[in-house]
Amino acid sequence: MTAPGGRESASEPAPDRTARAASVQSFYGRWATLYDGLARFTPGIGRLRREAVAALRLDRGDTVVDLGCGTGANLPYLREAVGPSGTVVGVDLTRGMLDRARRLVDAAGWRNVHVVKGDATRPPVVGGDDRVTDGVEGVDGVLASFVVGMLADPASAVADWCALATPGAGTDDPGHVVLVDAALSDRPVARPVNAAFRALTVLSTPPTRKFRYDPSPHDVLRDRVHAARDALREHATATYHAEHLLGVVRVTGGRVPPHGEPS
Ligand SMILES: C[S@@+](CC[C@H](N)C(=O)[O-])C[C@H]1O[C@@H](n2cnc3c(N)ncnc32)[C@H](O)[C@@H]1O
């Protein structure tokens, strides 16, 4: 599902930012239950989430942030990767989505998985007075699945996420950033899949009663996903790229060099 998103960028006026956030919250708040089912039970989705988490190259004890975590569908895989001594932080704008993620965490009894309300373009994770997890010194991995298509300025957001992926003092390990997205495929053979994807994006774009948009939501989505991937290539060294469903679904990972090391 798509909805307009909320990059807090200098180029986007504050009223637009607020309206974008309100639109995301209203849309996903309304559809949280349906989304949760799709996020967990769509055939192949579990394998895709596991693949994305593997691309983060996490170790036991690491800290990982899931931006736009939604109903928490990535959290079990992230918790499994970092173990009981690591830390998982999920950030999302929408209360209804977070409520479901919290229920998941409570049911599993994970004490090291935190779910917080916040803007993925200004994640309240480390540093500053508004940080949400005491004891988090650095971030080893940043994951954003099906999120960049909702941001007005995905390139700046990804640049910030690469800066966020900085492991704590005392380690020379690099951080990793992984993006998972679905967008129109460039492959000619993907025409039927693209047609289905176009219909899905139009039907899931607020106000959901219109059939014509200008620009079309799938073109906006594709441009944003491309911009995010270009930014990841600019700010990180490519470590992983995989395409599924004839190129509609893509997983891209990058390694952010430790401070002082040339990329
Ligand atoms: C398509 S869902 C993806 C959820 C989850 N990452 C997954 O893979 O199932 C997009 C989520 O991004 C959230 N979102 C959109 N813009 C956001 C922003 N600027 N900051 C935080 N969350 C945002 C929405 O509330 C929604 O939960």
Over residues 126-143, the pLDDT tens digits come to 655 555 566 677 899 999
In this structure, the residue with its CA closest to atom 23 of ligand 1 is 68
Q: How far is the CA of 91 from the centre of ligand 1 (A)?
A: 8
pLDDT value at position 147?
96
Instruction: Select from 153, 150, 147 the least CA-distant residue to 13.
Output: 153
Domain boundaries, the chain: 14-256
Q: Is the pLDDT of residue 18 over 90?
A: no
Q: Is the pLDDT of residue 1 over 60?
A: no
Q: Probe ligand 1: pick from 12, 16, 24, 99, max atoms within 8 Å of CB?
A: 24
The CATH code for residues 14-256 is 3.40.50.150
pLDDT value at position 45?
96
Over residues 53-91, the pLDDT tens digits come to 999 999 999 999 999 999 999 999 999 999 999 999 999
- Per-residue pLDDT averaged across 108-118, rounded? 95
Q: Which residues pair with 143 in a beta bridge?
A: 66, 178
pLDDT value at position 205?
66
Ligand 1 atom index nearest CA of 91: 21
- Per-residue pLDDT averaged across 96-125, rounded? 93
Over residues 181-236, the pLDDT tens digits come to 999 998 989 998 888 888 878 777 655 555 566 678 888 899 999 999 999 999 99
Q: Which residues have any ligand 1 atom within 6 Å of their CB?
A: 1, 5-6, 24, 28, 39, 68-70, 73-74, 91-94, 97, 119-121, 145-147, 150
- 175-182 and 87-92 as β-strands: parallel, antiparallel, unpaired? unpaired
